[in-house]
Amino acid sequence: MSKYRVQGGNRLVGDIYIGGCKNACLPILSAVVLANDVCRISNIPNISDALLSLDILEALGAKIKRINKNTVDIDPRTITSHVVPHDLAQHMRASYYFLGSLLGRFGDARVSMPGGCNFGVRPIDQHLKGFQALGATVPAIIENGMIDASATQLIGNSIYLDVVSVGATINVMLAAVKARGTTIIENAAKEPHVVDVANFLNTMGADVRGAGTDTIKICGVRVLHGVEYSIIPDQIEAGTYMACAVATGGDIILHGVIPKHLESISAKLREMGAQVSEDDDLVHVIMEGPIKACNVKTMPHPGFPTDMQPQVAALLAIAEGTSIITESIWDNRFRYVDELRRMGAQATVDGKVAVFQGVKSLNGCPVKAVDLRAGAAMMIAALAANGQTEIEDIQYIERGYENFLEKLHSVGADICRIDIPTITSMRA
Ligand code: UD1
């Protein structure tokens, strides 16, 4: 029971260092299961989803040694269990990556149905179709909330994904790297984190080619070695702070980023009137004058990422003119619009389309983070708003943003975290 209290109106100016990519880190931590020796993984973001992945590895029997706050040694040789328990899996979507890695190593995986943000129905049929094509037995119907996959020997095959899915692409890669023969994934997702997982697997000795294109070819190998690997920077964390600069008429330099991964976000912010410049591993965002309205359509990479959709909506709520946002990945990703309306936004939602009639300013009030990126959008709106905003349900935000308050503080935001004692902790 904690919340953020934000006093809006400060212009954010300064430097922010971007952490490791959440959506690369979670499958990479699962992929360590496939190694035959210790892996040292660095640039792990300090977020609750990463801690949960480490808890799952420990529950399976792996030994974890923390080297520093962003680096761990993981010894997967002691893994004996093939079951990811419900109490761990339920909190995180990415727990399903243990299906691919446990199946790939042991030919046996039992993972409770994953949790995660609620954007409507989140099927995993393409993951299961991929495992089945490799020769695994998968459940026709999921019973008791458990997904049970097993195979005596996985054998490479051609798999055409019916939808472009990040999760299915990565999960099939994880299962296929040690399979006998060659696997080809067609209509694969091309996100930077898909490429990072492939690079990690190749560093361990796998033979994965074509990641970043829509055809990935995997030649199975017998052994994957222990390695040292550093996770790529988080595209969405960087994009969120870029949006904070725009919302507050600010001037922020983001360090440790890969500007190429930010191209679609930079292009959209330029359309809104921001100056965005790039150098080797930094992006500089300066905003002067009013935000200009524009239209946004989310698409698989290299299109505009759905995970930046709520954050740009917070900007378009205070833009000059009318903007249309079309969400083409998820069925129900506009739940946060009600919260923006409480702050004075004028917006209508019809299915996968939201129309924002920009208002001059938003007014602070109590709001909720309805999911991770929606929570980031509330923060952006609160930083730009008149007066004070209190954001509840911040556990969603802390799943995906490391040191969120500290980073925003360092560029001049007026924010604090309020911990409200629960009845049990008051008694303790
Ligand atoms: C990942 C990200 C999430 C992001 C999403 C799209 C993680 C932990 N989460 O989610 O933040 O919003 O990519 O960039 O990395 N689909 C199917 N069947 C499947 C799988 C997916 O129909 O078996 C559909 C989904 O309903 C959705 C679309 O495919 O409409 C994309 O989903 P997917 O890319 O798989 O998203 P996730 O990997 O779950």
pLDDT tens, position by position, 209-253: 999 999 999 999 999 999 999 999 999 999 999 999 999 999 999
Rounded to two decimals, the pTM is 0.95
Rounded to an integer, what distance in angstroms lies between the CA atom of residue 32 and that of residue 41?
Answer: 9
pLDDT band with cut points at 50, 70 and 90 for residue 326 = very high
Asked whether residue 144 carries a pLDDT value surpassing 80, the answer given is no
Selected catalytic residue, list 21, 117, 244, 294? 117
Q: Among 65-79, 137-151, 263-277, whose mean pLDDT is lowest?
A: 137-151
Residue 278 bridge partners (DSSP): 283
**pLDDT the model gives residue 334:** 97
Confirm or reject: Cβ of 266 under 6 Å from ligand 1: no
N-to-C CA span, the chain: 16
Pocket test for ligand 1, best of 163, 240, 306, 352 (most atoms within 8 A of CB): 163
Is it the case that residue 423 has pLDDT exceeding 80? no
* DSSP structural state of residue 290: P
In this prediction, residue 387 carries a pLDDT of 98
Helix (H) or strand (E) segment spanning residue 408 = helix 404-410
Phi, psi of 388, deg, nearest 5: -105, 135
Cα 119 to middle of ligand 1, angstroms: 10
Predicted pLDDT of residue 63: 98
**Nearest CA residue ID for atom 2, ligand 1:** 23
In this predicted model, what pLDDT tens digit does every residue of 80-124 receive, in sequence order? Answer: 999 998 888 888 889 999 999 999 999 999 998 776 667 667 889
Cis ω before 85 (30° cut-off from 0): no
Tallying the residues shown for the chain, one arrives at 428
Distances (CA, A) of 53 to 32, 85, 105, 399: 11, 12, 17, 11
- Percentage of residues in the chain having pLDDT higher than 90: 90
Which residue shows structure tokens 């299962």?
175
* Angstrom distance (rounded) from CA 368 to CA 376: 11
Alpha-carbon span 382 to 6, nearest angstrom: 6
- Quick one: pLDDT at residue 116? 64
- pLDDT of 200 above 70: yes
Closest C-alpha among 177, 188, 185, 230 to residue 31: 177
pLDDT tens across 339-395, in order?
Answer: 999 999 999 999 999 999 999 999 999 999 999 999 999 999 999 999 999 999 999
The answer on pLDDT for 39 being more than 80 is yes
Ligand 1 atom 17, closest CA: 123
Is the previous residue joined to 302 through a cis bond, with omega within 30 degrees of 0?
yes
- C-alpha span between 84 and 102 (Å, rounded): 10
Reduced DSSP (H G I as helix, E B as strand, rest coil) percent helix, strand, coil of the chain, to 5: 35, 25, 35
pLDDT greater than 80 at residue 424: no
Contact of 308 with 98, CB cutoff 8 Å: no
| DSSP-assigned beta bridge partners for residue 143 | 146
**What is the pLDDT, as a whole number, of residue 297?**
98
Residue 35: its pLDDT value, please?
98
pLDDT band at 267 (very low <50, low <70, confident <90, very high): very high
* Cα gap 340→318, rounded to integer Å: 11
Q: What is the model's pLDDT at position 428?
A: 39
Angstrom distances, CA of residue 204 to CA of 178, 214, 311: 11, 23, 36
What's the pLDDT at 426?
42
**pLDDT cut 70: percent of the chain above it:** 97
Q: What pLDDT was estimated at residue 427? A: 42
Q: Is 132 helix (H, G, I), strand (E, B) or coil?
A: helix
For residue 114, the model assigns a pLDDT of 73
Which domains are seen in the chain, by residue range? Answer: 2-19+233-419 (3.65.10.10), 22-230 (3.65.10.10)
The atom of ligand 1 lying closest to the CA of 125 is 23
Task: Please say if the pLDDT value at position 206 is more than 70.
Answer: yes
The burial class, CB within 10 Å (0-12 / 13-18 / 19+), for 187 is middle
d(CA 11, CA 76): 47
Nearest Cα neighbor of 366 from 388, 381, 386, 345 is 388
Atom of ligand 1 nearest to the CA of 117: 11
Q: How far apart are CA 10 and CA 175, in angstroms?
A: 49
Cβ distance 208 to 198 under 8 Å? yes
Q: Is 117 a catalytic residue?
A: yes
Q: What is the pLDDT of residues 165-175, one digit of tens each?
A: 999 999 999 99
pLDDT attached to residue 155? 98
Q: What is the pLDDT of residue 363?
A: 98
**Mean model confidence pLDDT for the chain:** 95
Whether ligand 1 lies within 6 angstroms of the CB of 120 is answered as no
The finding on whether 127 has its CB within 6 A of some atom of ligand 1 is yes
CB 231, CB 56: distance < 8 Å = no
Tell me what pLDDT residue 421 has.
Answer: 74
